[in-house]
Amino acid sequence: MRTRRLTPWFYILPASVLIAFFLLYPTLRTFYLSFFDKRSIEYVGLENYSFLLTSATTRVAIRNNLLWMVVFPLTTISLGLVLAVLADKVAYERVVKSIIFMPMAISFVGAGVVWKFVYAYRATEVAQTGLLNAIVVALGGEPVGWLLQRPWLNNLCLVVIGVWIWTGFCMTAFSAAYKNIPVEIIEAARMDGATEWQLFWRITVPALKATISVMTVTMMVFALKVFDIIYVTTNGLYDTEVMANRMYKEMFLYRSKGRASAIAIFLLVTSVIIMSSNVLRQRANREQP
Amino acid sequence: MKQSGFRPGRLLLHVFLIGIACVWLIPTLGVLITSFRTSFDVAHTGWWTVFKDPLNQHFTLDSYRTVIEKRSMDRAFINSFLITVPATLIPLTIASFAAMAFAWMRFPFRLALFGFIVALVSVPLQATVIPILTAYNRLNLTGTIPGVWLVHTGYGLPLIIYFLHSFFKDLPRELFDSAAIDGASSTQILRRIVLPLSVPALASIGIFQFLWVWNDLFVALIYLGGAPKVTPLTVSLSNLVGSRGEGWELLTAAAFVSSSVPLVVFLTLQRYFVRGMLAGSIKA
């Protein structure tokens, strides 16, 4: 297309200015501030980073983010994959998929309320109004403090909220890729007497490898940055803290720009590492003959 | 695959799928039912009593009335719109121009610049808030709705540019050539040819950005500072959850008020919604 020499620059100018002001400059500045004290006046070297790795609260947060980064992608991806394959076999596929995708429309805050209610916990003498405890009591058990019992039960219960929101998303991505597998391949394998189980592991999973790896990265990055769910349910109490919530507290509760910046840079570096590992792997796959 | 006769595998398949669908649906159903029950009922019995004893139930809209009138959810609802609509349209407009330049114009450093902008998708919001907030305090933009538009614009641009670019560049070259012969300027080509042909792409990414902003808590918490005049639904819902002593009937009603718009979008524009969500996944 023929254009005047300056036209393209006018076209990209507004976007470039905004991106420079809202992404580029603040990221560099945050990196710089992470070497200064809480009011950004005195240079403190790596002190904020050593705080991040040694303080009891941030170590709990790092542990929880690690738990999220392992359990959350594993569950959403395996469940999403199984659902994509199984829903394909039934007539009511669209209904099931819509139901499982629906939580994506509700905000994380909304989902937090929905599940806080499911987990609601009351003393033994009164009737339970939370669904899970009502079931436990009906089965003859004692009510459980789902969001109180540290460190594993409450954190896993919080991961469940994330799984409820994001499984439909993984399922939809896998479903689109699954329907692209040529029918002949699957039919031929069936003719050769392959069981559904063998089909799944030998044909479906290898064919969806690229989608699986993209989704793994997406879910891991999400697990790293998880904030809303924690903020609205436990606010990091009872050892459920995560880095993004901790950063919010450092910023607004403890007014420490230095520490908050160090946490932000930690999140940035970790997510870049996760994302670039995927790009490298894809490139390696493409270069194979 | 057409096979007849009873097969235990099929039965198991149905049990699994329907079971999962129920697990996914029941929590939301409980919230919906609770929002219509009286505060007395909610405090004393579980929502499932509605099914056990359907004849002795009282349903009411009181909770909705209370959250809307007394907890200013009406104001928050309007604020959410005032924030979300411009925070969707502004970046879409700006990104269209940039994507057009990157897809169809020749200029120095084009690929390098494009690659750099796309790479910025990986920057987490958290890495940008402290310097922006400092600048905003100086410029008196903290606690203002236009301030939030700009943040969402700057933050959304790399993804939207990337998405629109990949759509624009696949348009046939002849379109541009014949329009250029007719003497159309590049802005006319963008407005009269490229954008009308890109409606599905604009709808998908537009819906993604709309829902992203509508459901956003983090940006609103940080840049709006909690003044009721500008508080959107997500913040006002999370304040309700945080304050002790609010009954579940109010929280559930508030959750539904705040999710009503995304749910309507989901139910009416499901195809674009899903496509936009998949497109936006790298940002989330």
B8-24: per-residue pLDDT in tens?
Answer: 788 999 999 999 999 99
Residue B280 has what pLDDT? 65
Residue B138 has what pLDDT? 94
Give, in degrees to the nearest 5, the angle at Cα B195 between B192 and B196.
Answer: 70
Percent of chain B with pLDDT over 90: 51
* Mean pLDDT value across residues B100-107: 91
* Mean pLDDT value across residues B115-133: 91
User: Which residues of chain B are within 8 Å of residue A1 when distances are taken between CB atoms?
Assistant: 104-105, 176-177, 180, 186, 189
pTM of the model: 0.90
Query: Coil, strand or helix: which one is B241?
Result: helix
Q: Is the pLDDT of residue B77 over 70?
A: yes
Q: Please, which pLDDT band fits residue B2 given cuts at 50, 70 and 90?
A: very low
**Which residues, at least 6 apart from B147, have a Cβ–Cβ distance to it below 8 Å?**
B136, B141, B223
Residue range A42-52+62-287, CATH number: 1.10.3720.10
Q: Is the pLDDT of residue B102 over 90?
A: yes
Quote the CA–CA distance of A94 and B274 in Å, as a whole number: 13
Q: Which CATH superfamily is domain B72-280 in?
A: MetI-like (1.10.3720.10)
A242: burial class by Cβ within 10 Å (0-12, 13-18, 19+)?
Answer: buried
User: Which residues of chain A are within 8 Å of residue B131 when distances are taken between CB atoms?
Assistant: 25-26, 29-30, 33
Q: Please, which pLDDT band fits residue B148 given cuts at 50, 70 and 90?
A: very high
- Is A11–B237 a contact, with Cβ atoms under 8 angstroms apart? no
- Is B238–A27 a contact, with Cβ atoms under 8 angstroms apart? no
The residue with greater pLDDT, A285 or B2, is A285
User: Which residues of chain B are within 8 Å of residue A244 when distances are taken between CB atoms?
Assistant: 126
For residues B214 and A110, the answer to whether their CB atoms sit within 8 Å is no
Closest CA to B27 of A108, A248, A131: A131
Question: What are the sequence ranges of the domains in chain A?
Answer: 42-52+62-287
- Residue appearing with tokens 């910025």: B120
CA distance B252 to chain A (A): 7
Domain with CATH 1.10.3720.10 in chain B: 72-280
CA distance A151 to chain B (A): 22
- Is A131–B127 a contact, with Cβ atoms under 8 angstroms apart? no
pLDDT per position as a tens digit, B253-264: 999 999 999 999
pLDDT per position as a tens digit, A228-285: 999 999 999 999 999 999 999 999 899 999 999 999 999 999 999 998 887 777 677 6
CA distance A14 to chain B (A): 7
Residue B5 has what pLDDT? 58
Per-position DSSP letters for B50-114, written without gaps between them: HHHSGGG--B-SHHHHHHHHTS-HHHHHHHHHHHHHHHHHHHHHHHHHHHHHHHH---TTHHHHH
CA distance A235 to chain B (A): 9
Listed in sequence order, the DSSP H helices in chain A are 7-19, 25-33, 47-54, 56-87, 93-101, 108-118, 131-138, 152-178, 183-191, 196-199, 205-207, 209-225, 228-233, 243-252, 257-287
Query: Coil, strand or helix: which one is A62?
Result: helix
- Is A117–B104 a contact, with Cβ atoms under 8 angstroms apart? no
Give, in degrees to the nearest 5, the angle at Cα B21 between B17 and B24.
Answer: 140
Q: Is the pLDDT of residue B7 over 90?
A: no
Residue B284 has what pLDDT? 43
Residue A161 has what pLDDT? 96
Quote the CA–CA distance of B158 and B122 in Å, as a whole number: 10
- Is B215–A134 a contact, with Cβ atoms under 8 angstroms apart? no
For residues B103 and B165, the answer to whether their CB atoms sit within 8 Å is yes
Give the residues of chain A that fall short of pLDDT 70: 1-3, 282, 285-289
- Is A134–B186 a contact, with Cβ atoms under 8 angstroms apart? no
DSSP classification of residue B149: H
Quote the CA–CA distance of B175 and B75 in Å, as a whole number: 47
Query: Coil, strand or helix: which one is A36?
Result: strand
For residues B163 and B279, the answer to whether their CB atoms sit within 8 Å is yes
- The set of long-range contacts for A197-201, using a CB threshold of 8 Å and a minimum separation of 24, is A200/A85
- The encoded tokens of residue A168 equal 């439909």
User: Which residues of chain B are within 8 Å of residue A115 when distances are taken between CB atoms?
Assistant: 27
Q: Is the pLDDT of residue B66 over 80?
A: yes
